[in-house]
Amino acid sequence: MKHFSYIVVVFCCYHRQMREFPEKPPPGVSHVEIAESQSGQRIDNFLITRLKGVPKSHIYRVIRKGRVRVNKKRIRPEYKIKAGDCIRIPPVRHGEEPEQAQPGADTARQLNERILYEDDRLLILNKPSGMAVHGGSGLSFGVIEALRALRPNAPFLELAHRLDRDTSGCLIIAKKRSVLRTLHTLLREGEVAKHYLALVKGRWQGGQQKIDVSLQKNTLKSGERMVRVNEEGKRSISIFKPVKLYADTSLLEIKLMTGRTHQIRVHAQYIGHPVAGDSKYGDKVFNRTLKKLGLKRLFLHASRLDFKLPDDGSHIKITAPLDPDLDALVKQLAGQSRQD
């Protein structure tokens, strides 16, 4: 009887093991458990660092196809890994695709010239319009890849937050993982004051206005991501304040109280003052009028950052000047208003 009971116990243990681990992983597959020191970074950045020499486009492809799993589940490139996560990494060959283009000397020089602040913990860049913060989705490289190429010996460089591709201005890059976690906490708790400048359609009436409406992300059949005002979405708050009023346009300062995708652009559209040069949420006729005046991009600029680092209480307050093309347009509008 005891022998029979022993067989039953062994069978149950074997059955439970087979249920939890039904088969051995295919040859070449590896499983990595994330340590506390690795948490907080995006899965795509983690894989890019770990799979050195593998083209970034291939890394994004294996993520998209679900060959990379976190805790046995499919994930998106922007998923942020956490301590204790078990990551399944499939076998990849370094020669599956030709190496992607690297940022040229002009790009490197431009980024160097646009560094607004730097110490041993972080740097703040005046990101140029038209450059994505991150490569992928058909882009060979973005700001972070260009900075890593520019500084090959830097032990750690990672985005603390993001800006839309066509938005210029203040962008924080962490140089230590501990600082990255601190910045994420400050951003999440609203301890980083982020101010933007935007030129919008129409002459602003009244003073400061608080926009408090929920936003929801949608994806169209074409794969394009759009954001709409929807009460079922996430609460989103922006403070709009007039800076300069012109004949048919207004220069506004916007303070973000939350950080939703395309928040300023959708809020501006919602209140009837779409941002100039916005091809997705803007006014086509308005955009064509300003294009004749020389505007070739979205007029949205992350102009100021203000925050304190808790480790030593240092107060970092940075202002990014308007790019020359935006500054020239503002002066032109001011001149027209005086003539009128």
CATH code of the domain containing 69:
3.10.290.10
Q: Are residues 216 and 160 in the same domain?
A: yes
pTM of the model: 0.72
Residue pointed to by tokens 């140029």: 128
Number of domains in the chain: 2
Domain boundary among 89, 116, 133: 89
Q: Is residue 98 part of a domain?
A: no
Q: Are residues 43 and 135 in the same domain?
A: no
Q: Is residue 11 part of a domain?
A: no
Residue 83 DSSP class? T
User: Cα separation of 15 and 311, whole Å?
Assistant: 51
Domain that holds residue 161: 105-339
Q: Are residues 59 and 111 in the same domain?
A: no
Catalytic residue among 44, 164, 278, 283: 164
How many Cα atoms are found within 13 Å in the side-chain-facing hemisphere of 9?
6
pLDDT reported for residue 112: 86
Q: Are residues 77 and 116 in the same domain?
A: no
Q: Is residue 2 part of a domain?
A: no
Q: Are residues 257 and 281 in the same domain?
A: yes
Structural tokens at position 340: 């009128």
Q: Are residues 213 and 80 in the same domain?
A: no
pLDDT reported for residue 9: 40
pLDDT reported for residue 5: 46
Domain boundary among 42, 57, 89: 89
Q: Are residues 40 and 134 in the same domain?
A: no
- Whether 164 sits among the annotated catalytic residues: the reply is yes
Where the chain has pLDDT below 50, the residues are 2-25, 95-100
Instruction: Count Cβ atoms below 10 Å from residue 115 Cβ, excluding itself.
Output: 13
Structural tokens at position 14: 């074997």
Q: Is residue 221 part of a domain?
A: yes
Q: Are residues 36 and 112 in the same domain?
A: no
